[in-house]
Structure 1
């Protein structure tokens, strides 16, 4: 690829043409140049069209004008470097104006402090701009041995200030030219020691004020950022609280739905158990409309074809069994054994009602007391089945003429439901 610029091997600065390289060599005494495929940076301000050759120039332009949008036209302006230097015009070698003696004077590039020039070029300024700044700011010939050595420390700052104030000049990128016999005198500072001290004090004061203003600006920016972050945190906290409330409401809704489904499941299971008992007892299926009345039935509607007494005993039997399970809910095996024992008593009487041994139970029997007698509701359940205590309270006896098969069947159905229904006694 053809070279797009010339790079100084001593300081690394990129130059667009041989003329710029020659001017750079005259100003810095650098002579090591080589072709480079890297183009010279060309950043054009979108607002005013000002070209900048480095990021430092971009920063200075932004600070001075407030323009922050730049278009990178480096490749558009890049073109192959022409290594043949054109002949210098006569106007570059000789000034058109005559000297006081009537003779034309030779125009040359002014001499500047090489160390300062290298420093400015290291900051990104072109050779022409750095030379102009050092020449016209009056700091070109300062050195550590000069009487005004204090200015040597602040000279780069003074040159940069000059560039910031004159970067819009049309000839800012052209090398300055002065008569050959006056270049040294023009650059020599004409300041007394007192004026040097005053100038240094003024520059220090300006630098201090500028630093304080920058600190105040940064403090304002930090305060604005702190307020913005505080508002964002507050909004995030409010949003999190709202989301938490929504989550809690949704959780409660789901819990209620789960409880409703559980109740419906238990109710369905009870209905199925009830239908199964009716089927085993040979009763017709229950009418859904009659099973779930919309309103409490009137008193006169209690009359039905079935006897009221068995239905009442069924409710009381169920309460006895439920009480037995709730009072001993920690010992399911004990409750199950009690239900099985009661079912055996009732079943034996229903199968062989004529045998007295099945209709007579000794209350002091250890097995009976352990399985049924010691549980609340056990003896009451047998009494609901027709058993009665004798006068000495030693036996439970069911007279032959008081054996009611319907009551015994109801008792058997309630016991079977209590043993098979997993939700019995829960509600």
Structure 2
């Protein structure tokens, strides 16, 4: 019937060697046993060879049919399990792609919001400086005994002239201001995660620039030793620090950064100071490229 000899002997022994049907039923019930094909550890002498044809009863046919059905059922269950796993894998891939798309979309929205906030902050800062300058002019005129209304009108007229002069500035002045701001943005991005160190560098640069503006004739304010430990710690060791001073007019002369007196450009230095103030006070400065 196709059974291994050890299994047949085991079935005959444990079924009491009573009948073929009992032995077949035992095999069907125990076919998943780990030791199903091991000989029983007993002394038996069973003659299993016979020259006569073995009759196949209905019980044997049912046992074989049951075994085939069990095998087919297991195969179908395995195929179904494999299909379900494949569906889960495909769905997991789709979920991952969707999550990635949503994350990228949110990142774009965040970048746009940060850029808008940075521009608004810079606009408010410029407007605040403009208003303060106008108020200072008005106060000075009032102290000199002028009519406040006339002074205000004069301030407005002056503001218009300033705006006209600003619009008529050479292109290289505007480009220089943009280079200064871009240099500070690059410095902040190059040292991302070091906010305290970057802020200290901006403050130190503001001191250098302010000293030259206030004392353009003092050589000590226009000369910086590159090997100075304080300078190296606060500015020189940061990528973009020395470049910013060079944009302000400083030149490398041996182991010094020097700003020749004849090359002191007050407007450029004031633009540098304004860019540094914005970089220090604007929390969104440098987060995005312009």
Question: 2:160 matched to which residue of 1?
Answer: none
Distance 2:58 2:232 in 1: 104
CA RMSD after TM alignment: 3.6
- 1:269 is aligned to 2:117: yes
Q: Is this contact kept in 1: 2:201–2:234, CA < 8 A? A: yes
Per-residue Cα deviation, 1:330-388 (whole angstroms, up to 9, x for no partner): 644333222111111223444x2565267423325543344334444333322322345
C-alpha distance in 1, partners of 2:192/2:183? 14
Counterpart CA distance in 2 for 1:224 and 1:394 is 89
2:232 and 2:79 map into 1 onto residues whose CA distance is 76
* Cα distance in 2 for residues equivalent to 1:376 and 1:268: 27
What does the per-residue CA deviation read over 1:275-297, in whole Å, with 9 as the maximum and x for residues that have no partner? 234324439xxxxxxxxxxxxxx
CA distance in 2, matches of 1:401, 1:327: 29
2:181 aligned residue (318, 322, 327): 318
Partner of 2:207: 344
CA distance in 1, matches of 2:257, 2:93: 65
Q: Among residues 202, 222, 242, which one is paired with 1:379 in the alignment?
A: 242
Q: Greater relative contact order (Cα 8 A, min sep 6): structure 1 or 2?
A: 2
What are structure 2's unaligned runs of at least 5 residues? 1-17, 19-53, 132-166
User: What per-residue deviation string (whole Å, max 9, x for no partner) do you get for residues 365-422 of structure 1?
Assistant: 5433443344443333223223456x676462353784323x2332123223333335
For residues 86 and 233 of structure 2, the distance between their equivalents in structure 1, rounded to whole angstroms, comes to 64
Specify the SS of the correspondent of 1:362. strand
Three-state SS of the structure 2 residue aligned to 1:282 is: helix
Distance change in 2, residues 1:366/1:249 (3 Å): closer
Offset from partner CA, 1:208-266 (integer Å, 9 cap, x none): 60211211231233234224313422331232123212212211221222221222222
| Distance across 2 between alignment mates of 1:392 and 1:234 | 75
Check if 1:404 corresponds to 2:277. Answer: no
Partner residue in 1 for 2:198: 335
Aligned to 1:318, the other structure's residue is in SS state helix
**Pairwise mapping of residues 111-130 of structure 1 onto structure 2 (< 5 A)?**
none
Inter-CA distance 347–228: structure 2 relative to 1 (3 Å threshold): same
**Is the CA contact 2:114–2:284 (under 8 Å) kept in the aligned structure 1?**
no
Q: What's the counterpart of residue 103 of structure 2? A: 255
Richer in strand (by share): 1
Q: Identify if the C-alpha distance between structure 1 residues 342 and 227 changes in structure 2 by more than 3 Å, giving closer, same or farther.
A: same
Q: 1:247 to 1:362 in 2, by over 3 A?
A: closer
Question: Which residue is equivalent to 1:158?
Answer: none
CA 1:220–1:375 in structure 2 vs 1: closer, same or farther (change >3 Å)? closer
Unaligned 5+ runs, structure 1: 1-152, 154-204, 284-303
| Aligned mates of 2:224, 2:176 — CA distance in 1 | 24
Q: Which residue number in structure 2 is paired with residue 305 of structure 1?
A: 168
Q: Using a 3 Å threshold, how does the CA distance of structure 1 residues 229 and 311 change in structure 2: closer, same or farther? A: same
Match runs of 1:63-78 below 5 Å: none
- Equivalence for 1:245: 93
Cα deviation digits, residues 275-331 of structure 1 (max 9, x gap): 234324439xxxxxxxxxxxxxxxxxxxx6343122211232234324434554464
- Is the Cα–Cα contact under 8 Å of residues 359 and 398 in structure 1 kept in the other structure? no
CA distance in 1, matches of 2:97, 2:232: 52
Among 264, 274, 283, which residue is 1:421 paired with?
283
The structure with more helix, counted as a fraction of residues: 2
**C-alpha separation in 2, matches of 1:233 and 1:263:** 45
The CA distance in 1 between the partners of 2:288 and 2:93, in whole Å, is: 33
TM-score, normalization: structure 2? 0.56
**1:22-421 superposed matches below 5 A:** 209-282=57-130, 305-329=168-192, 331-350=194-213, 352-353=214-215, 356=218, 359-363=221-225, 365-388=228-251, 394=256, 396-397=258-259, 399=261, 402-405=264-267, 407-419=268-280, 420-421=282-283
